[in-house]
Structure 1
Amino acid sequence: MPIVSKYSNERVEQIIDDVVNVLQRHEAPLDLALMVLGNATTELINGSVKAEQRAAVADKFAKALTASVK
């Protein structure tokens, strides 16, 4: 059963394009781009998720990322 998102594909794609454009504007090589995205993810989780739930959210995110690149 497919996962239904509460966000439109158009909105998601626009934000992705914006983020990628910023990385390209800064001529960020892959390792720097991944470091920036990882650090941003950490800040989002730490700033928005209760401390006792952070590890579970990070684990789910890591599993989703791994599944998406296979």
Structure 2
Amino acid sequence: MAAPGYVFTIGYVARQLAIDEATIEDIALEMEPEDGCLSIISDDSGESITAFTQFGIDNLQELLADR
């Protein structure tokens, strides 16, 4: 499998799925990088933002359906 060329931020995914970010963040805690869920550090503060590959969005939707 090829490495993903881009990822989608949690805010973008929340808008696309019409679900609040807090719910997605809660579900993302169950996901690993192999599931398409990544943390991106954007500056020197060390704070991270959750992002998803397309595969991760698909996995996220399956987890949402299971809830």
Q: One fold, TM greater than 0.5?
A: no
TM-score by length of 1: 0.30
Q: TM-score under structure 2 normalisation?
A: 0.31
By relative contact order (CA 8 Å, sep 6+), the higher-ranking structure is 2
Q: Which has the higher strand share?
A: 2
- For the pair shown, the structure with the greater C-alpha radius of gyration is 1
